[in-house]
């Protein structure tokens, strides 16, 4: 009965980082035989020969590496593209103290003016409009309890990492004195730091 000698397998690799080059390298690797070894067992002819651990491990590693050599499919995007006015995440308007508020019913617009009973339309879009009331210390004694009827428009939607803020507010009311109407036109709103 002939003895089967299995030389140890040594695979030489070059340092190549690309996936395709690595796959090509695996396919063309040189196998260098080592010194002959003494057989540890006799294998009868006609029966399958048992595989030693080192060659079996080398085969598994080679098959795993070659399996990862396939082409990467190109990125495919489906569906409508996001609109330029679309918001990302929640939308806020910061009050005079810098507190972010989403669809506020009450709102301290400036140090001297506040908004109340607000009902919003278009929140989250480029402009949000609300009807409600405007009042302040300057309103005494005529409108201190309820304020003047007003329309509020928020604009200048600014997108940040995961949130958006309105940056300007304009208040319109037929009952406002002219100097107050000018003060409440195009009011800058604070935007909290991320």
Q: What is the pLDDT of residues 170-185, one digit of tens each?
A: 999 998 888 889 999 9
Q: What is the pLDDT of residue 102?
A: 96
Q: What is the pLDDT of residue 59?
A: 66
DSSP assignment letter at 137: G
* The predicted structure's pLDDT at residue 152: 97
**pLDDT (0 to 100) of residue 193:** 81
Strands laid side by side in the 164-166 sheet: 100-101, 91-94, 164-166, 158-159
Per-residue pLDDT at 140? 72
Tokens coding 5: 């000698």
Q: How many helices (H) and strands (E) does the chain have?
A: 3, 12
Of the listed ranges 6-10, 51-55, 131-135, the one predicted with least confidence: 6-10
Strand locations in the chain (E): 9-11, 31-33, 91-94, 100-101, 107-108, 113-121, 128-136, 148-155, 158-159, 164-166, 168-172, 187-188
Position 191 pLDDT exceeds 80: yes
Q: Residue 70, SS3? A: coil
Kindly state the average pLDDT of the residues 24-30: 48
What integer best gives the mean pLDDT of the chain? Answer: 75
Residue 119: predicted pLDDT: 98
Q: What is the pLDDT of residues 57-82, one digit of tens each?
A: 676 666 666 555 555 555 555 555 55
- pLDDT, residue 126, reads 96
Higher per-residue pLDDT: 194 or 171: 171
Q: Which is nearest to 168 in space by CA: 117, 129, 121, 111?
A: 129
Distance CA 147, CA 175 (A): 10
Q: For residue 15, what pLDDT is reported? A: 38
Residues 100, 93: Cα–Cα separation, whole Å: 6
Q: Provide the 3-class DSSP secondary structure of residue 99.
A: coil
Q: Which whole number is the average pLDDT over 87-109?
A: 92
Under the banding of pLDDT at 50, 70 and 90, the label for residue 10 is very low
Mean pLDDT, residues 148-156? 96
Structure token pair of residue 165 = 């803020």
Q: Does the N-terminal peptide bond of residue 141 adopt cis geometry, omega within 30 degrees of 0?
A: yes
Q: Can you state the angle between helices 19-27 and 53-67, rounded to 10 degrees?
A: 140
Per-residue pLDDT tens for 99-112? 999 999 999 999 98
> How do the domains of the chain map onto residue ranges?
9-67, 91-188
Cβ neighbours of residue 24 closer than 8 Å, sequence gap 6 or more: none
What would the mean pLDDT of 110-118 be, rounded to a whole number? 93
Host H or E run for residue 21:
helix 19-27
């Amino acid at each position: 009965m002939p003895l089967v000698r299995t030389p140890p397998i040594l695979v030489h690799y070059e340092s190549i980082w690309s996936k395709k080059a690595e796959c090509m390298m695996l396919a063309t690797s040189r196998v260098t035989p080592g010194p002959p070894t003494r057989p540890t067992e006799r294998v009868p002819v006609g029966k399958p020969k048992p595989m030693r651990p080192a060659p079996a491990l080398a085969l598994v590693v080679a098959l795993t590496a070659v399996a990862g050599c396939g082409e990467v499919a190109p990125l495919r995007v489906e569906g409508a593209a996001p609109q330029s006015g679309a918001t990302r995440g929640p939308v806020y308007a910061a009050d005079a103290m810098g507190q972010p508020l989403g669809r506020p019913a009450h709102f301290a617009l400036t140090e001297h003016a506040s908004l109340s009973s607000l009902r919003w339309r278009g929140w989250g879009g480029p402009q949000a409009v609300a009807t409600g009331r405007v009042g302040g210390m300057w309103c005494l004694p005529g409108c201190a309890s309820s304020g003047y009827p007003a329309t509020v428009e928020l604009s200048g939607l600014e997108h940040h990492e995961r949130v958006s803020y309105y940056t300007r507010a304009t208040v319109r009311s037929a009952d406002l004195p002219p100097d107050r109407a000018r003060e409440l036109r195009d009011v800058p709103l604070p935007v909290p730091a991320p």
